[in-house]
């Protein structure tokens, strides 16, 4: 009974909803990125690596310039560059897209780990105070993007849940709707979808297949890197080695579950984010005693949920027909 009580208590706590949003945001960005890439026919499992680069680059530029927005901007640029590398291998060289994605994840893990010491002066995870000491910086550095206050009374449930919110969370939802609009309501979106469904036909009609695919993949880099940057400068203010912890793959699952539609991917991301928040809240519940040694079992929850959902719902969703198939243009 106490366990049931504790379960229900999680939902009554406004904190659960605010943590759910925080946990969902990186997934929303990354899965939107996944949609942009795969809708044009390029599988992008490199999301995990691009997110990691985004988290690293944004932290680095934030620490050196003192402005987290510059960090985000640079993360977008670098994310686009990393995605270009994947696009170049996949589109120009007809490379195996899954293997190329794996390569990029490894490179991202290697590069971020390798640069920890030269950039931040320490390994493992960053520490702002130590960084300032090592690099002789005395000015004030704000490592986190300041949350904004919404005009909701603070005392109310809603006010406690989402009254104070990171602008990046709002940006995530705005991006999803813009993404949806581009893909389903514009000529560009029609071309993206046609290139992903039937590149031969699109080519015959004069659509630049390679150009559209480059656009899709590079946009996925932009979104995934903001998602990664949210983990560092949007939430914690630090960079930790391998801090993405599989979120790129959960975002891929959200994209599949959302049927390659930005809105569907967003809803699936919220489901996965909420399951992470749920496990998180349950283990700090005051109603049941959770010893620290069983914590790993709670950490397992989002991955178990993703595994079950992805195998239960798949087949009911359909990928773009030419997803993952290189287009071999004949001159």
Q: Which of residues 73-92 bind another protein (CB under 8 A)?
A: 85, 89-90
Which segment (93-101, 172-180, 186-194, 221-229) binds another protein by CB under 8 A? 93-101
Taking CB under 8 A as the rule, does residue 104 contact another protein? yes
3-class DSSP string for the chain: CHHHHHHHHHHHCHHHHHHHHHHHHHHHHHHHHHHHHHHCCCCCCCHHHHHHHHHHHHHHHHHHHCCHHHHHHHHHHHHHHHHHHHHHHHHHCCCCHHHHHHHHHHHHHHHHHHHHHHHHCCCCECCHHHHHHHCCCCCCCCCCCCCEECCCCCCCHHHHHHCEECHHHHHHHHHHHHHHHHHHHCHHHHHHHHHHHCHHHHHHCCCCHHHHHHHHHHHHHHHHHHHHHHHHHHHHCCCECCCCCCHHHHHHHHHHHCCCCHHHHHHHHHHHHHHHHHHHHHHCCCCCCCCHHHHHHHHCHHHHHHHHHHHHHCCCCCCCCCCCCCCCCCC
Interface residue with another protein, options 39, 116, 183, 229 (CB under 8 A) = 116
Nearer to another protein, 68 or 273 (CB): 273
Interface residue with another protein, options 37, 100, 126, 269 (CB under 8 A) = 100
Taking CB under 8 A as the rule, does residue 94 contact another protein? yes
Interface residue with another protein, options 106, 133, 188, 201 (CB under 8 A) = 106
Nearer to another protein, 204 or 291 (CB): 291
The least distance separating another protein from the CB of residue 250, rounded to whole angstroms, comes to 8
Nearer to another protein, 171 or 256 (CB): 256
The least distance separating another protein from the CB of residue 280, rounded to whole angstroms, comes to 14
Taking CB under 8 A as the rule, does residue 315 contact another protein? yes
Interface residue with another protein, options 8, 134, 158, 300 (CB under 8 A) = 300
Which segment (74-82, 99-107, 212-220, 232-240) binds another protein by CB under 8 A? 99-107
Nearer to another protein, 22 or 90 (CB): 90
Closest CA to 83 of 195, 220, 211: 220
Taking CB under 8 A as the rule, does residue 2 contact another protein? no
The widest CA-to-CA distance across the chain, in whole angstroms, is 70
Which segment (3-11, 52-60, 101-109, 189-197) binds another protein by CB under 8 A? 101-109
Query: Binding-site residue total for another protein (CB under 8 A)?
Result: 51
Q: Residues in the site for another protein, rule: CB under 8 A?
A: 45, 85, 89-90, 93-100, 102-114, 116-118, 123, 245-246, 249-250, 252-253, 256, 293-294, 296-297, 299-300, 303-304, 306-307, 310-312, 314-315
């Amino acid at each position: 009974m106490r366990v049931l009580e504790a379960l229900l208590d999680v939902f009554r706590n406004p904190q659960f909803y605010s943590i759910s949003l925080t946990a969902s945001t990186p997934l929303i960005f990354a899965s939107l990125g996944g949609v942009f890439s795969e809708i044009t026919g390029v599988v992008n499992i490199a999301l995990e690596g691009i997110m990691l680069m985004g988290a690293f680059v944004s932290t680095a530029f934030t620490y050196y310039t003192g402005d987290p927005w510059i960090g985000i901007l640079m993360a977008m640029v670098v994310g686009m560059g990393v995605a270009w590398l994947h696009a170049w291998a996949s589109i120009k060289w007809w490379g195996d897209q899954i293997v190329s994605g794996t390569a990029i994840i490894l490179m991202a893990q290697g590069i971020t780990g390798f640069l920890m010491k030269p950039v931040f002066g320490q390994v493992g995870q960053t520490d702002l105070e130590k960084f300032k000491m090592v690099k002789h910086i005395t000015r004030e550095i704000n490592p986190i993007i300041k949350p904004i206050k919404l005009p909701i009374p603070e005392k109310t449930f809603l006010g406690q849940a989402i009254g104070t919110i990171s602008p990046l969370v709002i940006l995530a939802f705005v991006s999803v709707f813009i993404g949806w609009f581009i893909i389903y309501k514009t000529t560009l979106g029609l071309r993206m979808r046609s290139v992903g469904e039937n590149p031969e036909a699109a080519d015959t009609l004069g659509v630049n297949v390679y150009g559209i695919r480059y656009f899709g993949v590079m946009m996925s880099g932009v979104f995934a890197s903001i998602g990664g940057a949210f983990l560092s400068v949007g939430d914690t203010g630090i960079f930790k080695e391998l801090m993405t912890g599989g979120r790129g793959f959960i975002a891929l699952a959200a994209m599949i579950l959302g049927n390659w539609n930005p809105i569907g991917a967003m809803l699936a991301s919220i489901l996965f984010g909420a399951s992470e928040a749920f496990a998180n809240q349950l283990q700090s519940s005051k109603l049941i005693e959770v010893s620290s040694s069983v914590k790993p079992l709670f950490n397992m929850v989002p991955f178990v949920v993703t595994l079950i959902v992805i195998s239960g719902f798949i087949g009911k969703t359909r990928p773009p027909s030419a997803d993952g198939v290189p287009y071999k243009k004949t001159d």
